[in-house]
Amino acid sequence: MSEGAILVVEENDPVLETDFMKEMVKQMRSLDMYDTYEGWSEAKILDPFVMTKERKREMPVIGDPDEIIISRIKAFYNAISTLIEKECKLMAVPLVNLSHEGFGRVIISTGKLIVVDKVLRDVHRFGFKSLSKMKDDADKLLSVALEIIGKYPDVAGM
């Protein structure tokens, strides 16, 4: 995804107005050490999260994830952690563990409770069909997390 690449996210996509996408933009900006995103629109910052068929086709089938991809994965799970915190007022800690072959495991814990536990594959092609799909996936993770916390508040508060 070079600077000159064609954007697939539209500037006025209403999904950009959701809490999750606003948090995503915040996370991406906080990981942006060199102010690369200075002056960028939200659509442009989140655009690389959309992995269309065409974009996928341009990528190697097997590859090592680079720093940029890893920071995107962290931003995604950081954003989910932040939303969990907002909802349940308990600290949620993400842990992203990647092996060199592009496999990995992500967990988010609240107290002693694992509220998100995901195996990652093909990390170098991390992305979603559309921003709406990304928000759907995040919503699902969030609702499962909140359900587990609701069921075991003691463990989540440990």
The answer to the question of residue 113 lying near its own copies (CB under 8 A) is: yes
The answer to the question of residue 95 lying near its own copies (CB under 8 A) is: yes
**Residue 5 three-state SS:** coil
Q: Report d(CA 110, CA 149) in Å as an integer.
A: 8
Q: How are beta strands 92-98 and 104-110 bridged, if at all?
A: antiparallel
Per-residue exposure over 115-153, b if at least 16 CB sit within 10 Å of its own CB, e if not: bbeeebebbbbbbbebbeebbeebeebbeebbebbeebe
Q: Report d(CA 76, CA 104) in Å as an integer.
A: 15
Q: Smallest distance from the beta carbon of 22 to its own copies, in angstroms? A: 28
Q: Which one of residues 19, 64, 66, 117 is an interface residue with its own copies (CB under 8 A)?
A: 117
Q: Which is nearer to its own copies, 36 or 97 (CB)?
A: 97
Q: Which one of residues 36, 52, 97, 99 is an interface residue with its own copies (CB under 8 A)?
A: 97
Q: Smallest distance from the beta carbon of 109 to its own copies, in angstroms? A: 6
The answer to the question of residue 152 lying near its own copies (CB under 8 A) is: yes
Q: Which one of residues 90, 148, 153, 157 is an interface residue with its own copies (CB under 8 A)?
A: 148
Q: Report d(CA 60, CA 144) in Å as an integer.
A: 33
The answer to the question of residue 155 lying near its own copies (CB under 8 A) is: yes
**Residue 122 three-state SS:** coil
The answer to the question of residue 70 lying near its own copies (CB under 8 A) is: no
Q: Smallest distance from the beta carbon of 75 to its own copies, in angstroms? A: 17
The answer to the question of residue 154 lying near its own copies (CB under 8 A) is: yes
Vertex 136, ends 133 and 137: CA angle to 5°? 90
Return residues touching its own copies (CB under 8 A): 95-97, 105, 107, 109, 112-115, 117, 148, 152, 154-155
